[in-house]
Copies of this chain bind each other. A is one copy, B any other.
Amino acid sequence: MRVIFNEGLKAVADDLDHMVRNVRDAIHGAGAALLSQDLDAAQKVIDDDAETDALSTSIVDQCVELLARQNPVATDLRVVVSTMRLAITFERMGDLARHIAEAARRTYPDSPLPANAVDLFRQMQDFLDVTADRLVTMLADRDTHTADEIIRDDDRLDDLHRRTLQLAQSDDFPGTNQQLINVVLIGRFMERLGDHSVSAARRVVFIVSGFDPSKEPARDEGTDID
């Protein structure tokens, strides 16, 4: 029984790994679409999201199967439940990257952003590119050091996001209303990518800590959730 359980869990872990690599690629691709008007990159993010969604559904189904057939308890049970929640979080991250790619595709060949917002969004994207790579490392190695870095650094993204809103608020905002809407919505999608990354990192810390209640993610996604 134990061997079967471990084999089943290994298969799910491989799929979760695959999924987080897809999410990493989607985040990088959304950045290329947003900041370099790369239409192929945008289309690829949009098209590939279906596979990420299918992986999420498959992971949840496999977890339900494991629960039914193997009756895991204690740590094993919590690993299965946490795996389901990670898959759901990564599915949302794929959707957010897709929303950014769609916004870039809508205004192609123009940028969806006014020129003087680009630098701020490039800083946000650089941050998310690093976070996306960290998510892959964290999952592959169950690496809490990397998870802690994700959690620790998120304030920086929140600060950049606040600055995009300040720019949007200023009475001499140098773009059209449509560009202002893009700044607000794309900024929010990027901030949410950061929130979901923190949520995933907290969950990995909780798994690796052996479910130390003091490490339990009390809420799913920090203070600013939807």
| A positions within 8 Å CB-CB of B | 53, 57, 60, 64, 67-68, 71, 73-74, 77-78, 81, 84-85, 88, 91-92, 95-96, 99, 165, 168-171, 173, 176-178, 180-181, 184-185, 188-189, 192, 218-220, 224-226
Contacts and interface: CB of A to CB of B under 8 A. Distances in A.
8 contacts: A64-B77, A67-B81, A68-B73, A95-B225, A95-B226, A168-B180, A177-B180, A189-B226
A68 B64 contact: no
Given A64-B77, A68-B74, A85-B88, 17 more contacts: A53-B219, A60-B81, A64-B78, A67-B67, A68-B77, A71-B71, A91-B225, A92-B220, A99-B224, A99-B226, A169-B177, A169-B178, A169-B181, A184-B185, A185-B188, A192-B226, A226-B226
B96 A81 contact: no
Contacts of A169: 177-178, 181
A188 B187 CA distance: 13
Contacts of A220: 88, 91-92
A192 B92 CA distance: 13
Nearest to A82: B64
Nearest to A217: B57
Contacts of A53: 218-219
Contacts of A176: 171
Given A64-B77, A220-B91, A96 B226 contact: yes
Contacts of A73: 68
A225 B97 CA distance: 11
A92 B165 CA distance: 23
Nearest to A50: B219
Given A77-B67, A95-B226, A189-B226, A181 B184 contact: yes
Given A68-B74, A78-B64, A81-B64, A57 B180 contact: no
